[in-house]
Structure 1
Amino acid sequence: MKQLKSLVIAVILLVGMQVTAQSKVAHIDLQALMTTMPEMKTAQDQMKKIQESYDKDFKGMAAEYQTKLQKYEAESTTAGDVLNETRSKEMQDMGGRIQKFQQDAQKELGQKEMDLLKPIMEKAQSAIKKVAKAKGITYVLDATVGSGVIVADGEDLLVAVKKELGF
């Protein structure tokens, strides 16, 4: 019985080593690939325009807030308690709207960036899969700095994938 167990374990290990030995592994710096894709420049330009639009709106709101605040502070000594209280509430509401605008703008920018990057990422992944399949590669690791790949001595697919994408 013990010999049978040992034999089964030895066979499993042998088969596992053969499968591992037959697997080809390559790597690609996905970040380098995506930053060189022409679509990325277009997406970055779109994001810059949207960001500038939000910045312009925010600066306008902030300028209006500052103008009102200065006016109300200058008139506070002669305005009376009821008017000062009303103005104080108005400024708090305006500050809250500005803060909400900032939060909403950040959320919308993040969503827009995801929407713009998704098709670029899918195109890159499709090209990587195509090149890997053509080269008989079983596993492709992301060699982007900080992605967890410590040694990247295998085949680098960056040039082949760029060629597949046409640049």
Structure 2
Amino acid sequence: MNKIKTLVAAFLLISFASFAQTNDQAVKIGFANVEEILSKMPERTAMQKELETYGQKLQEQFASKENEYNTKLQAYQKGATTMDKVVREDKERELVNLEQSIQKFQYDAQMSLREKEQSLIQPVLVKIENAIKEVAKENGYLYILSEQAILEGPDSGNINNLVFKKLGVDPAKQPAAAQQTQPQQQKPAAKPAATTPAKKKK
């Protein structure tokens, strides 16, 4: 999923100040890889399938609009020289409106696809966040950092396996993150040919 890094940015630092230890105790800090955990959640497969299905429907609607435009453009180009001025100008306005409609639909579809992806991922991220908080509380961690923010540290600080256990997920049974299928993206609309009025014969 191409927006996962953006969506998990809010989880870079989770503070558990309410579980602070006394001053004479060492501060216990752990770290987790939220992207890795998310990539192995059982919900991921259904989430990707739903996103791909949604994207395909948008793509089909886009293709239908594009085909309508191309058909009307070809008809205009074929008959423009024999059309009355009023009819020709009406056809030109129609083509311009269709072109603008296609461009707007493409933009709206891309935004809708992003919003759909966020709406599917967010509940899973909340579930992961809650599990991290519970693991931190149960194991005495004062802070849980994102693994991406750790430059150096002991492997013992990694709480991923504890989070998987809390979530009831066996990471060995889930596909690797690198095998994720990317949702189908809207193809860029080729700019339709300019619709210029046919020159009158002298």
- What is the Cα-based RMSD across aligned positions, in Å? 1.8
In the superposition, relative to structure 1, how do residues 82 and 157 fare at CA in structure 2: closer, same or farther (>3 Å)?
same
User: What's 2:46 paired with?
Assistant: 42
- Greater fraction helix: 1
Q: Determine if the alignment matches structure 1 residue 124 to structure 2 residue 128.
A: yes
List aligned pairs for 1:8-157, cutoff 5 A. 19=23, 22-144=26-148, 148-153=149-154, 155-157=157-159
106-115 or 25-34: bigger deviation:
106-115
Q: Which amino acid aligns with 1:107?
A: M
In the superposition, relative to structure 1, how do residues 20 and 45 fare at CA in structure 2: closer, same or farther (>3 Å)?
farther
Structure of larger gyration radius: 1
25-34 or 78-87: bigger deviation:
78-87
User: Percent of counterpart pairs with the same letter?
Assistant: 31
TM-score (norm 2): 0.67
Q: Deviation above 3 Å: which 4+ runs of structure 1?
A: 18-21
Give the Cα separation in 1 of the matches to 2:90 and 2:151: 62
TM-score (norm 1): 0.81
Give the Cα separation in 1 of the matches to 2:114 and 2:94: 30
Secondary structure of 1:22 counterpart: coil
> Can you give the 5+ residue segments of structure 2 that lack an aligned partner in the other structure?
1-21, 170-202
* Residue 21 of structure 1, CA deviation: 6.3
* Residue 152 of structure 1, CA deviation: 4.2
Is the 8 Å Cα contact of residues 141 and 149 (structure 1) preserved in structure 2? Answer: yes
Is the 8 Å Cα contact of residues 27 and 152 (structure 1) preserved in structure 2? Answer: no
